[in-house]
Amino acid sequence: MSIILWIDPWTTTVWFAVLRKDWVKNEIIDYWIFKTTPKIELKYKLLEIWNDIKIIINKYSPDLIVVEKLYFTTNVKTGIDVAQARGVVLYEAIKSNIDILEYTPLQVKKAITWNGKANKLQLQTAIKILFWLGSIPKPDDAADAIGLAYMGCLEITSL
């Protein structure tokens, strides 16, 4: 059995999902977000993110952490801030001696829906089917979290 933790760090919210992988099935254990304090300096947000990541790692003892690969858009300042938040996550994973995998959103969508340009509803529906859920995961970004963690399940299966 393996525990896979997915983390998507931003500076105001950090998404996470936790999956359990065994020989028979993949099971969603938990998924949600935690938020940093609004309107404080970035350095304090990074400290809050680090503390929350430590709590999640201690609570679930993951064997693998999957992190979304960072890609820049037109807002370089936001990208740099997110890169720093991502660095906090990677630091804590390395410090805790946990393996790390990284995937782009396109890789996740293609692996799960067979369409790298799938929209949120398509991804949510695919996650619902994959995990035999009664309804699509909410909020919308929860499907991204579960999808990235599922990529870790696929990687563990192929090892």
Catalytic center residues: 8, 68, 141
HEC profile for 82-101?
A: HHHHHHHHHHHHHHCCCEEE
User: Rounded CA gap, 121 and 111, in Å?
Assistant: 15
DSSP E strand stretches across 36-96: 64-68
What are the two backbone dihedrals, phi and then psi, of residue 62, each rounded to the nearest 5 degrees? -70, 150
Residues paired with residue 136 on neighbouring β-strands, in sequence order: none
Largest pairwise CA distance in the chain: 46
Helix 42-60 and helix 76-95, axial crossing angle in degrees, nearest 10: 40
Q: Which two tokens stand for residue 101?
A: 């995998």
